[in-house]
Structure 1
Amino acid sequence: MKNTILVALLLVTTLIQAQDFQGMAVYESKTSTSEIMKNIGGNREITPDMKASIEERMKKMFEKTFILNFDKSASIYKEEEKLDAPGQNGGGGRMMTSMMGGGGTQYKNVKEKMYSVDKEFFGKEFLIKDSLPSYKWQMTAETKKIGEYICYKATAVVATDPTDFRNFRMRGGDKEKEEKEKAAKAKDSTDANKKTNFMQDVEQIKEKTITAWYAPEIPINQGPDKYWGLPGLILEVNDGTTIILCSKVALNVKDKAEIKAPKTGKVVTQKEYDETVTKKMEEMREMYGGQRGGGRGRGF
């Protein structure tokens, strides 16, 4: 068995060393909507029916397919293009994608240790350029099979994306939530029409522990989304809420993709983009949080 794996690894390594080598991997992304709804469940304005409706819509919205095209040193990662269903509003979907930290074409160059991604947010195009995040991977001997590949487990604690609403939760623990709910129910009926400032009741989850499974048989230092840095292609990533799982791998593909960094949009660093989005979210909080004189939002 070991000899078979060594021979396969040698063949793939030889293949990858070829000047025109390119591969492709398909990933399916799914998010546990129940976890998200648990995080926002303390909002008393959301009825059980509304909660069920939101959860069903989110489930469909979060089920996405992505394509990773890669060569020896670089990759592009992009959502598979699909036609909107009849009557579906594509604009709202694009805005939600932006608020989930996604969208655009993500380019990673592990040789130069940089990445760039083009994003549209509230009608304005941005081009984020920055250094690749450095993951302190803890590699283990634990294995499992994904497709035809033996994968090894690695974990890392990572800072969360402040522009992705999946990384937010209600402030305080369960006890505090219960106390708030009791106090809300005890309020006089004359306050029933008073709106709750939802954004003031949530906080960002600053860190998450992610689990990755990588295949040493494919000795490429790449992975889905922003993940990289393991001695093999990452075939699965789980951050406790979202799972990105590889469903297909093709090496030495004939129809080669153009693996180049995107060029369209206002050039910003990741920090500058996050600050822009956070500022806009704060503006929306002020507009829709029950304060007087909402008015139209300011531009960038």
Structure 2
Amino acid sequence: MKTRLLILLSLFLVLVDEAESQQLSGRAYYKASNQIMIRIDSADMSPEEIADAHEMMKKPWQRDFVLSFTQTESNWKQMETLENGSSPSASDGMTVNLSGTGDEILYKNLVDQSYVQEQEFMGKEFLIHDGLVPRQWELSAETKKIGEYTAQKASYMELVDAMHFSAEMTEMENVKDTIQVTVWFTTEIPVAHGPENYFGLPGLILEVHNGGRSFYCEKIELNPVAEPVEIEKPKQGKVVSQGEFQLIQEESIQQMQNRYQGKPGEGSKVRIGG
């Protein structure tokens, strides 16, 4: 399997040389969704009302993104929609959005294997500078059509940090989970980019399935003439490493838990995703 990957990477480098002479660039548009378990028990609701409630609860977890890329650099950014400016009602207590505004840019550079990510957290702007983490991709012979492109399957196992409720359901606990990440990429677009922080295959990644989270490529524009691709490197925010940013997150969440622990009647909500 490793020998086959090396052969594909060698072929990829040849394709890269050809593509560079053509100044390959483009934009790929993705739909992102999280599969969350929602349980609604009510004898007073009709099946139609329950279905509507499910759709309403799932909607905030669905987002549209655009990946702008050249041969060596890329930007990953959430697309603007009318719903991006909306936020949950805080009439029943305090709502804290930990996931940022949706305007942040993730910049990746494949030459020096680095990334720069804008991230807003607790009302403060950060600029995360760190190195890209290579994946141990395992290629599969399985292929399928995604739009007009033939895509090949690849996967790897990833150890991730997760937050679960404790057995007493009183606080969040940090745990380690092992998940399988499966992607589909096409060598017909010979760039090693992909959505979010995925990269390193001999072709553009069109689909990602990471536990309950998925990305689906819906449209691709190659070498657009009317609106040429320009790669933006984020510059705003306090410069930190990924490790430093995670520590800031953990300390802030712990402070919030300590502040509101044991205060019944004070409704507090912490939005980690969406």
TM-score of the alignment, normalized to the shorter chain, above 0.5: yes
- The farther-off stretch of 205-214 and 226-235 is 205-214
Deviates more, 1:249-258 or 1:261-270: 249-258
Question: Paired residue for 1:97?
Answer: 99
What residue number does 2:163 align with? 168
TM-score with structure 2 setting the length: 0.77
Q: 1:244 aligns with which of 187, 192, 215?
A: 215
In structure 2, which of residues 24, 27, 42 is the aligned counterpart of residue 24 of structure 1?
Answer: 27
State whether residues 94 and 103 of structure 1, in contact with CA within 8 Å, keep that contact through their aligned partners in structure 2: no
For residues 154-233 of structure 1, what are the structure 2 equivalents within 5 Å?
154-160=154-160, 162=161, 167-171=162-166, 197-199=170-172, 202-233=173-204
The residue type paired with residue 105 of structure 2 is T
Partner of 1:188: none
2:137 corresponds to 1:137? yes
How many residue pairs get aligned? The number is 241
Q: State the Cα deviation string for residues 25-55 of structure 1 (Å, max 9, x = none).
A: 0000011011xx58xxxxxxxx846xx8996
Alpha-carbon offset, residue 19 of structure 1? 6.0
**Mapping of 1:105-124 within 5 angstroms?**
105-124=105-124
Tell me the CA shift for residue 247 of structure 1. Answer: 0.5
Determine the structure 1 residue equivalent to 2:4: none
- 1:55-70 to 2 correspondence within 5 Å? 56-70=55-69
Aligned position for 1:84: 83
Q: How far did 1:22 drift?
A: 1.4
Q: Is the 8 A contact 2:16 2:191 kept in 1?
A: no
Q: Which residue of 2 aligns with 1:297?
A: none
Q: 5+ residue gaps in structure 1?
A: 1-8, 39-46, 173-179, 181-195, 295-300
Larger Rg: 1 or 2?
1
Q: Deviations over 1:157-214 (max 9, x none)?
A: 1232x4xxxx433456xxxxxxx7xxxxxxxxxxxxxxx6232xx4434332100111
Shift of 1:16: 2.4
Greater fraction strand: 2
Percent identity, aligned pairs only? 33
Q: Secondary structure at the match of 1:33?
A: coil
1:286 and 1:96 map into 2 onto residues whose CA distance is: 17
Task: Return the TM-score normalized by structure 1.
Answer: 0.70
Q: Aligned-pair RMSD on alpha carbons? A: 3.3
Match of 1:184 in 2: none
